[in-house]
Every structure is written in structure tokens, then in C-alpha cells.
Structure 1
Amino acid sequence: MNPKPFAFEVTARQGRARAGIIHTPHGIIPTPIFAPVGTQATVKAVTPAQLEELGVSLVLSNTYHLYLRPGAELIAELGGLHRFMHWPHPILTDSGGFQVFSLSETRQVDDDGVTFRSHIDGSRHRLTPELAIEVQEKLGADIIMAFDECAPPYDRAYNERALERTHRWAVRCLEAHTRTDQALFGIVQGGVFLDLREKSAQFLVSLDFPGYAIGGLSVGETKGEMHAVLELVDGILPEDKPRYLMGVGTPQDIVNGILRGVDVFDCVLPTRLARHHAAMTRNGRLNMMNAVYARDPSPIDPQCSCYTCRNFSRAYIRHLIVAREMLAATLLSIHNISTLIQLVNEARDAILTGTFDQFAAAFFALQNQSNV
């Protein structure tokens, strides 16, 4: 392990886009970065060795799921999440708040915390800010999240209540946090309401977190509303702290986020699409079940250098899908993750060389051509 404490440095800028390095006890994270999601201590259908080959430097795991199964105590007993899932590089865990609040039919919220029923067996549980931190400390991720309440984006009254609760919980999370080898991020909330987002960002900055997440986006709002929120908080959040846009992972959203000062992205999209037979490309998504690919000898994306595209044809991928072979999900997941990793790497290189404006313009021109 690298004994250097958590730190962030910006190494280059172009406009609001920035390239940087996050230092963690388990290694560096070059930014901008995309983190595949390993909800249950595994990125679905992909091994840690395959992730390393793809150049992945950060993965995300989910506190809610690991708390319920197999339990944080067991993971701690077996050496922590890094050893448990055989991933020696940086890990980020969310607080479980988004998952709990998505259980709208089975949870009850009060100022102290949330009572909910497990989606696995219906058992009753109580999650508080203190417990969310305790679980994440036992898991041992490098970057952990404050417990927050994610409200429906257009419900003003709900967002006002949830924001006050999120801010009180942020203070309690800071007070409960004891591990000096973990960086605890605050989460900016407030729905689509810019005044609430401003209030949230300013309050959390006053608490001096080592980094800040932007939550409650990509949950039904328009792209214009998302961009307005990002532009607002970009002007408030400290320049010397990393910004993490939670749960956002389309190529278009990633480039738009980088343009607006975001450093870290995560999403289940690449592996979820793979399990539904879809391939991500710069030109849009391909349904690999389509009969047009049955005799196609070309790779999924001739511009892609991933293991899948170097070795297998569209015809083979379609055959695996039709035959219901598990390898289909693995090969598509490798390709989809690689597509996003290559995208952020190219964006980073463009920022470092002062050509990001041209990179973004060419990217969006390709998107426009694909939509014609």
C-alpha cells in the first residue's frame, strides 16, 4: 500500500475541464476517470485481472448490498473489501442512501435515519448516518460517501426537507468518521432547483470535506437541467477538491460533465447494457441480437482496441447471445467498459495537450452525425 494520504492535484486545465491526480492509500487515480460499478464486490461478468487489462484504476461497490450480504463484519474479518474482492487498487463505496430511498414502498424516513425492509428477504433494518460510516469503515474503501437523502428531482417541498436532513446527516457523518486512511465526501443535493443546489454546495464546502459528490442527477431530469446544476456547483465547489458525478455514464454525459468541471464518473450502464446484448460505441449503441450481424466478420467497433474487438467478430458475439452463452456478457462488458475508459483517457490527454475543445467538438459532431 502507498502510505501517502489522500490528496488531489490539478495538473492541467482547459476552460472548466481539468486533468488531475487523486492520491489514495491504494494508488493514484488519474482524472477525469470512469469507475465501473461492482455493486456486490464484483463488476458483473468481468474479473479483476480483466479490469486491470482495461486500465481501470477505480471501482465502486455498494454499501447497502454488502451490508445486507455478506455483511460488513465478515468482509472486515477477511481483510477488508480490497482483499475480499482481490482488487488492490482504489475503491469507492457509496453510502447506501440512494438504494434505501429507492425502496419507496418499504422504507420510512425520519430525522435520525431510515427504516427499511431488505429486498432480499424482507427483513427489517435501520440505517443511520453513523451506521453508514461504520459499515464503510469496516469495508475499508479509499473513498466513502456521507449518508444523504436523494429526493425526486421536481418535488420542491420534498427537496427542501431532504436537503435539511442531508446537511444534518453530513455533520453526523463527519463526527462518526474515524479512519484517517479514508476520504469522506459530502454529497450535493437539491433536485433541479438551483437555489437549493447553491445552498447545499455552500453548506458542504463550509464543512471542508476532502471531496464532493453531486447526487440526484440522471434520475429523470432533462439534460439542460443537469448541465445547469453542474455549471452552478462548478462555480462553488473548491478548485482543489475532486468532484464526483454519481451514477452518470453515457459517453455524452461524461464529455458534458468534463466540460463542466467533473473529475469522477461511475455507472452500471456498461455492464447492464452488456447483459441486455447492447454494445456501446462512439456512434451509439448496437443491438448485437440483430440478425444483420449474423455473418458480420468485423469487430464491434473497428476503432476499439479492447480484447473483445481485437479477437472476436460481431457474428461470434451474436452467436453467443443466441446460444445463451455466459461469455457474451463478459465480452460485451469488456468492450463497453473499455469504450468509456478509452473516452476518459482521450479526454485527459486532450486536456493535458491543450486540445480538449477540439476533442469535444469532434466528439459532439460525431454524435450529431449518428443521430441524423
Structure 2
Amino acid sequence: GFSLDTGNLIWTTTPEPYLSVYDKWYGNCYGYGNFYTGRASGQVNCYDLETGNRLWTYDVKDPYAEILWSNNFPIEFHFIADGKVVVSYGEHSPINPTGRGAPLVVLNATTGEEIWKLSWFNNWWGGVVMIGDSIMVGMNGYDNRLYAIGKGPTAITAETTNEVIPRYTGVSIKGTVTDIAPGTKDFAVAARFPNGVPAVADEYMTDWMQYVYMQYQRPTDTMGVPVRIQVVDPAGAYAWIGTATSDAYGNYEYSFIPQMEGTYTIIATFIGSKAYWGSQTTTYLTVGPATPTVSIPPYPGYQGPSAQEVANRVIANLPADATPEQISQAVINQMPEYPEPTEIPEYTTIDLVIIVALVAVAILVVFTLYKVSKIT
């Protein structure tokens, strides 16, 4: 670095990779009191303009080692704005087929942290990525299409049952949150997403956009966006009752139990994110009287005579030489009648089975003892 006033040398940097000698072809950039270098080396270096101190370094790596003379992609600076430095792969004489996995990278101008990146091959002779009204526009050499990258619009829906539900009955609120950017109306996209392109969380945006627009594989771990559920009850009171999260198909669901009779206004809101503008919608729910409850007294259990009592009665009425048929009939005659179907049963079939078994055992014991006593 030289002083513009005196021409004196103020500072020098530590040596950079040898390929940095070609940086002059596309130039370096300046901003926020810093000096940024990088070109053929594929390495972005940030220096303090006052001291020449290197603040950070970022390598635009070639993941498949298809650039035969470097481990990095050669890069171009596009612009510095909003505290960010934007670079991408660019080459005046690219290899053919073009190297895979090259990115457009947005870096924090102060720290060098990678904010996001997207599959991108910039055409050396086709200009640079431009920005205006917070929208980046450039031509991607991988598919030779123009891309506009920025914060996009969304649409949200919400619905509940159309029927009147009883008070204190759970109800489900369902809906979708979709990306309605102009690109989603393209036939190639709309045909693949007939129900709309789901809106997804910011941390999944790169992989999701590459899937939607660039024929990449569908991500397997994508999450949707938060949906705030609010209600205005029949008394006019307003409450935020919870938050649902949409899934990778754009659907969300939230359940609650209304406590009042009348009409509820349901408000579903996606407040937006760094990638999307928000959206909001309403639906309605009518609640009627609570369903009457039927009180059923507890089952008291078997209320008839005990097995021993039945056995004693049977024995008392048996002839001296009773046959098995007579014993069976005598047991049946002593059993209580089964209740009418309209009554609450005092005993169940299993009760009677158990009693009959116990009575049979008791009769056998008592009758055997009776026979023995007569013989002796």
C-alpha cells in the first residue's frame, strides 16, 4: 500500500498463492475500510486498508478436484453491498465439461463468514451479477438462464370444519404455506408442484432452491416455516393460542378446544423470514352447546347368594339317590334370574359361570360327605 500524498510505501502483505498474480485481470474491490483480493487463486483475502493487516481468508474450494491447476475455483468479484461481498466462479476459458459444484458465494464483509451459496458458473464474457431494489440478477452458465435472487412472496391458507361443533370439542386448523415467487409459475416448476411450491426454513434454502429450479435431488431433511395461530373468541377477546410448523410439503396443522359458544375468528400468520415476505389469512369456526353427558352408575358387582348358600339349598332339596341331571336342575333352580337388557346388570355372565363352578364343587363335596355319613 502506498500513500497517495507522498507516494511512500506504507505496508506490504504477506505472500499470497502464486496464482494471485493474475488478479489484475478482473480487479480487486474495496469497501468498509477494507481491501479485498482474489481471482485465479480462488482465495478471497481481506486486508485493513490502513495497516495492511490480513483480517480473514476464504477459499472457494473445488469439491471434485476438476480444476486441474488449482484446488480452488477461479473467482470473480461482483459487488459489495449491505455488509456483504459477493463472488462466484468465473473463467475466460473454462474446461469442458464445466467443473461441477462451483458456487456463487455471499460472504460477510467484516468477518469472512459464509452467509449462503448457490450452484453457479459465471460467464466471463457475459457480465457480472448485478443488484437493484435488493434483488440480485445474473446469468448462470450452468444452464444459461437468468436468475433473480431476493426476498420472495408467500401465500397462506387456513380451514376448519364447516359443521357446528359442540363446545369443549377439539377442532383441527389446517392449511398450507407456499412460495408464490414469479419463478414458481413457470410450467416446468408448476407441473412438478401442482399444489404450489412449499415455503421452507431459511437454513434449508440453498438446497431447496437448487431442487426446485436446478434439477438437484430433493433434500430429505427440509423443514417448513412457523405459523402463528390466533383467535378472536365470540366475546371479542383476542389470544395467540400457539404456533404450528409447516412440513416439507407446505402443510401445517394445529388443534385446540374452544371454551365458548358462538363464532370464532381464526387468524393464521406467517410473519416472514430473511428469504420470504410474510402472509396472513382468516377462517371461521362456529361452536354450539356442549354435548350432554350421560351418567352411568358404577357396576356394583354380583349381588346374588353365595356359592355356599346355593349349595346348601340344593343339598337340602335333593332326594337320597339324586342323579346328575337332578343335581344340575336343582342348581339351575337356585340361581338368580339374569336381568332384563334395559337394566344395569348386577352381575355378568362371567359372574354366573364362576358361581356355577363354585356351586358344583361345593355340591360334590357336601353330597359326598352326605353319602359317606349315611354309609357309616
* Larger strand percent: 2
Q: Which has the higher contact order (CA 8 A, sep 6+)?
A: 1
> TM-score, length-normalised on structure 2?
0.23
Bigger CA radius of gyration: 2
> TM-score, length-normalised on structure 1?
0.23
